């Protein structure tokens, strides 16, 4: 097995030693020695030592009740420290003879390839400037770390950077060491898990913190480098108003199954975003005012500020005053309705124009080197974040709109909307949308659920257009689902267009997506209401939970192809919104490869995707890491637009049809048809306990019921904790196995070599299988599952083995990830710390199920810490 880079290994060892010193200081040498015995036993057991396994088991069994929590915390903290070291290693200083990271050189290399393919310099510059990429930040319950700890982790990474210099003096190195020791000690003595469930406002503030502490610095630096790379390759510059990547959010707008997200919450989040944006720009403008002390100015600037010795400061003072008014008004409006004074900034141009005027003046007066410093960075932020920081999407389940309209039609004596067929619904909705009269009388008093739907629509109508993204309809299945929202928004007083976006999530709805959009675009009045592209959201999580990832992946691909064809036929632009999760089971995986594997024509300069849960922190939590991921997104969308992958050959399609049919048969044969499956799932995994833990503002279930009622996140998160990883691979075992039995292995290998879609799916499958561990899953069964259900566990682990064998047959390797020894080494190191947490968690689950314990009891806290530690160790958990 390949060795981990020596510098990374040294960083991990150093942080581990400092954590050990901290633990010793609090709990003494004997406790630290016990931790070390557990670690060594786990390492030896991994290497096949029966003695090591016995030592591990005996040491864990000997733990007193008051030792359970600190042991869990010790291994949890080490895995978090390992994550910090790995993240820093991706961005560490490199010597001149070291190769650049892919993320840092991907755009220059792509530009050279595009030029070689005949694309012109001006075309490339225009294409990059006009890219429309939007990353939608969502809060999900797999991000369990508290914000205060995340800030300490960021500070630890900064100290790793501070010591990464060969010429540090001994006293300077000692200062860094002391600072690291303090930070690790602070983290150890800080409760890492929140005691109460976060509110949607808490989640929104967490999202704003990512922008404040990372993206605010990363975005202008990313655009500065993009500009330099574009100039070097084409001789063209990136316009200052260009914003190829922007950000949106679901935090405070996603009310699908979350009763805690209400109309007042959405209003508060919109105001908080406005307050935060004004505050961040104020800091920028204060800094600019202190720097731009120059006297010479253009006639254009002088005509605005008059005769003054410091024209730039005069201009910035006017802007600063307006930003203060905006911030103060937004803050006051959080608690009461306050009319906006005239000075409050209402339009992004009011923020951009004064800064752009200073920029033009400096260039005109020969001070371009000054203009292209912090002032340009501020302009780039204005172009990207605007007055509202992020655009807030609103999401609601289609059934809530149906229920609201049913109450309305019954009140009006028109019958039950829910009972009408699709033609009747469409006729009614079109008639009312075209009508100039209101649908509802002023004295209508709806029930609570309908009142909330209408109140949300009123908030959408009242909010500034630039503050909102799209209105997303989850579990959409028909054209009437879209028109229903348009009618409710019209009734709420919305006078401007907003993108109303159907989210197709189930296998059946994905297969019907093209037909639904074709029907909508065939309605003349609907096309007239469109402003901009037709946006459609592709659901990865629920489609995978419904049919397994084999069938879901192919349905998602075919749905996109169909939507591209339909929109082209109607001469309407298409914007696809990808609802990808962090895990393979929820459509996750490396974004760069995923984008390049989309159907040809489906990207076309536009791309929208969710960034979820703890993956936001891993991908955007540090400015330099964020830069790298923004580089990857921009390059992948540019390449997918100008060098799209080939359309699949007919025999590939036929093979995917067979794989899909076999995959869904294998998946549903277990999940839906096996009579013991639901009970086994609940005994073998922490699914029930996850619902009690304060992991997010949203309930674990949409409604009462079995597997079908579970959200995709806890469904996958529970299996990840036991390392069976079932949702990510179940179905592939059956599909690939049958294909190989039919003698189609050569065709599968040909597809993997020549079709990016199939290669990406197999690569992601291989990655998740490498993290799965049948032996760990069996330990959960032995401790938690009743004897009559254990044969099902044996069967599932046998299916896991079959999936691994099929992938190895396909890739021609002797072991999973044999082509990536560094990744294998990283997983191996983590297993030494994960194994004790798994064993401890199984014991904690058993004890928790045998006794009544409160949420703040040491047992429940230790259980939650084990959940957090396993999530940290496996990274893409939810």
Q: What is the pLDDT of residues 754-803, one digit of tens each?
A: 999 999 999 999 999 999 999 999 999 999 999 999 999 999 999 999 99
* Residue 2 DSSP one-character state: P
Reading the block at residue 19, the tokens are 């954590």
**Which candidate, 240, 362, 227, places its Cα nearest to that of 291?**
362
* Residue 710 DSSP one-character state: B
Assign 250 to helix, strand or coil. coil
Please provide the average confidence, as pLDDT, over all residues in the chain.
91
* Residue 15 DSSP one-character state: H
pLDDT of 228 above 50: yes
Helix H or strand E encompassing 797: helix 790-811
User: How many whole angstroms separate alpha carbon 557 and alpha carbon 501?
Assistant: 18
User: How many whole angstroms separate alpha carbon 348 and alpha carbon 343?
Assistant: 14
Least confident of 18-27, 596-605, 613-622, 693-702: 693-702
Assign 246 to helix, strand or coil. strand
Average pLDDT over residues 21-43: 92
504-537: pLDDT as tens digits: 999 999 999 999 999 999 999 999 999 899 999 9
Name the one residue in this structure whose structure tokens are 């069996």.
778
Q: Which CATH architecture has domain 279-380?
A: Up-down Bundle (1.20)
pLDDT of 806 above 50: yes
pLDDT of 704 above 60: no
> What are the angstrom distances between the C-alpha of 876 and each of 146, 302, 393, 662?
18, 55, 24, 27
Average pLDDT over residues 816-821: 87
**Which candidate, 240, 250, 110, places its Cα nearest to that of 637?**
110
Average pLDDT over residues 283-287: 97
pLDDT recorded at residue 145: 58
Percent of the chain topping pLDDT 90: 72
pLDDT recorded at residue 3: 64
Give Cα 854 distance to the centre of its chain.
Answer: 32
- Contact assessment for residue 266 and residue 392, using Cβ atoms and an 8 Å cutoff: yes
> What are the angstrom distances between the C-alpha of 143 and each of 139, 218, 713, 872?
8, 22, 11, 9
Average pLDDT over residues 732-745: 97
**Which candidate, 540, 510, 507, 506, places its Cα nearest to that of 761?**
540
Average pLDDT over residues 794-822: 94
pTM of the full structure: 0.92
First to last CA, the chain: 29
pLDDT recorded at residue 848: 86
170-216: pLDDT as tens digits: 999 999 999 999 999 999 998 877 777 788 898 899 899 999 999 99
pLDDT of 696 above 60: no
Reading the block at residue 668, the tokens are 């549903």
pLDDT of 721 above 80: yes
User: How many whole angstroms separate alpha carbon 191 and alpha carbon 24?
Assistant: 18
- Rounded to 5 degrees, what are φ and ψ at 316? -70, -30
> What are the sequence ranges of the domains in the chain?
1-99+147-190+820-878, 279-380
* Catalytic positions, written as ranges: 140, 545
Please give the angle made by the CA atoms of 16, 822 and 112, to the nearest 5 degrees: 120
511-517 CB contacts, 8 Å cutoff, 24+ apart: 511/555, 511/558, 511/559, 512/477, 513/538, 513/559, 513/562, 513/563, 514/559, 514/562, 514/563, 514/565, 514/566, 515/562, 516/476, 516/477, 516/478, 516/479, 517/563, 517/566, 517/567
Average pLDDT over residues 341-361: 97
């Amino acid at each position: 097995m390949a060795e981990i880079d020596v510098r990374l290994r040294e960083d991990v060892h150093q942080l581990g030693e400092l954590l050990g010193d901290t633990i010793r200081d609090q709990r003494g040498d004997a406790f630290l020695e016990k931790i070390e015995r557990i670690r060594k036993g786990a390492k030896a057991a991994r290497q096949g030592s029966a003695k090591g396994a016995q030592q591990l088991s005996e040491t864990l069994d000997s733990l007193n009740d008051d030792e359970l929590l600190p042991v869990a915390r010790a291994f949890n903290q080490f895995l978090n420290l390992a994550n910090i070291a790995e993240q820093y290693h991706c961005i560490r200083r490199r010597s001149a003879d070291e190769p650049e990271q892919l993320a840092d050189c991907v755009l220059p290399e792509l530009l050279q390839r595009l030029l070689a393919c005949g694309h012109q310099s001006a075309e490339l510059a225009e294409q990059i400037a006009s890219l429309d990429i939007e990353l939608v930040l969502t809060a999900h319950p797999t991000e369990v770390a508290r914000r205060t700890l995340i800030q300490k982790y960021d500070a630890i990474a900064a100290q790793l950077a501070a010591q990464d210099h060969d010429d540090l003096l001994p006293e300077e190195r000692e200062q860094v060491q002391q600072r690291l020791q303090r930070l690790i000690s602070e983290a150890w003595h800080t409760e890492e898990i929140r005691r109460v469930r976060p509110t949607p406002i808490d989640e929104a503030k967490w999202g704003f913190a990512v922008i404040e502490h990372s993206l605010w610095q990363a975005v202008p630096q990313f655009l500065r480098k993009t500009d330099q790379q574009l100039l070097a390759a084409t001789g063209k510059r990136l316009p200052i108003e260009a914003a190829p990547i922007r950000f949106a959010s679901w935090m405070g707008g996603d009310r699908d199954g979350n009763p805690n997200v209400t109309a007042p919450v959405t209003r508060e989040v919109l105001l908080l975003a406005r307050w935060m944006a004004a505050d961040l720009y104020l800091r920028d403008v204060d800094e600019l005012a202190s720097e731009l002390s120059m006297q010479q100015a253009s006639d254009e600037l002088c005509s605005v500020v008059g005769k003054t010795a410091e024209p730039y400061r005069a201009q910035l003072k006017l802007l600063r005053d307006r930003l203060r008014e905006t911030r103060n008004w937004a803050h006051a409006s959080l608690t009461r309705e306050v009319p906006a004074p005239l000075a409050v900034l209402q339009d992004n141009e009011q923020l951009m124009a004064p800064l752009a005027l200073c920029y033009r003046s400096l260039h005109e007066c020969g001070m371009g080197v000054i203009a292209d410093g912090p002032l340009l960075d501020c302009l780039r932020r204005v172009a990207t974040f605007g007055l509202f920081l992020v655009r807030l999407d609103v999401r609601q389940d289609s059934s809530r709109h149906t229920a609201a309209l049913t109450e309305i039609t019954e009140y009006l004596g028109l019958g039950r909307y829910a009972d009408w067929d699709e033609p009747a619904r469409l006729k009614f909705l079109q008639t009312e949308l075209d009508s100039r009269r209101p649908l509802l009388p002023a004295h209508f008093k709806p029930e609570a659920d309908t009142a909330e739907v209408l109140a949300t629509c009123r908030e959408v109508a009242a909010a500034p257009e630039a503050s909102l993204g799209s209105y997303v309809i989850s579990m959409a299945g028909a054209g009437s689902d879209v028109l229903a929202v348009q009618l409710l928004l019209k009734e709420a007083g919305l006078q401007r267009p907003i993108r109303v976006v159907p989210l197709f999530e189930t296998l059946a709805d994905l297969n019907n997506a093209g037909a639904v959009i074709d029907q909508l675009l065939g309605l003349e009045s609907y096309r007239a209401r469109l402003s901009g592209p037709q946006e459609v959201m592709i659901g990865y999580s629920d489609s995978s939970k419904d049919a397994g990832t084999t069938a879901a992946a192919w349905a998602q691909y075919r749905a996109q192809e169909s939507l591209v064809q339909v929109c082209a036929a109607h001469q309407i632009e298409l914007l696809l919104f990808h609802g990808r999760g962090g895990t393979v089971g929820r459509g996750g995986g490396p974004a760069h490869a995923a984008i390049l594997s989309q159907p040809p024509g489906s990207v076309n300069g536009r791309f929208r995707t969710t960034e979820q849960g703890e993956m936001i922190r891993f991908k955007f939590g540090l400015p330099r890491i964020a830069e790298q991921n923004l580089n990857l997104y921009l390059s992948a969308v540019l390449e997918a637009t100008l060098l799209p992958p080939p359309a699949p050959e007919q025999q590939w399609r036929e093979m995917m049809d067979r794989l899909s049919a076999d995959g869904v048969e294998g998946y549903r044969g277990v999940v839906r048809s096996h009579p013991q499956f639901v009970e086994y799932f609940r005994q073998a995994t922490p699914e029930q306990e996850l619902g009690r833990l304060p992991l997010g503002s949203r309930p674990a279930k949409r409604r009462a019921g079995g597997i079908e009622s579970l959200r995709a996140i806890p469904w996958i998160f529970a299996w990840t904790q036991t390392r069976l990883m079932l949702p990510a691979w179940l179905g592939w075992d059956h599909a690939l196995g049958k294909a190989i039995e039919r003698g189609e292995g050569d065709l599968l290998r040909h597809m993997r070599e020549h079709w990016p879609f199939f290669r990406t799916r197999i690569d992601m499958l291989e990655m998740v299988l490498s993290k799965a561990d049948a032996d760990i899953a069996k330990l959960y069964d032995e401790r938690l599952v009743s004897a009559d259900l254990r044969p099902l566990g044996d069967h599932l682990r046998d299916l896991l083995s079959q999936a691994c064998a099929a992938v190895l047959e396909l890739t021609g390797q002797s072991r999973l990830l044999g082509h990536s020894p560094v990744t294998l080494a990283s997983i191996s190191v983590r297993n030494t710390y994960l194994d004790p947490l798994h064993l401890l968690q199984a014991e904690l689950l058993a004890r928790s199920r045998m006794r009544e314990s409160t949420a703040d009891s040491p047992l429940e806290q230790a259980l939650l810490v084990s959940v957090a530690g396993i999530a940290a160790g496996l990274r893409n958990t939810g």
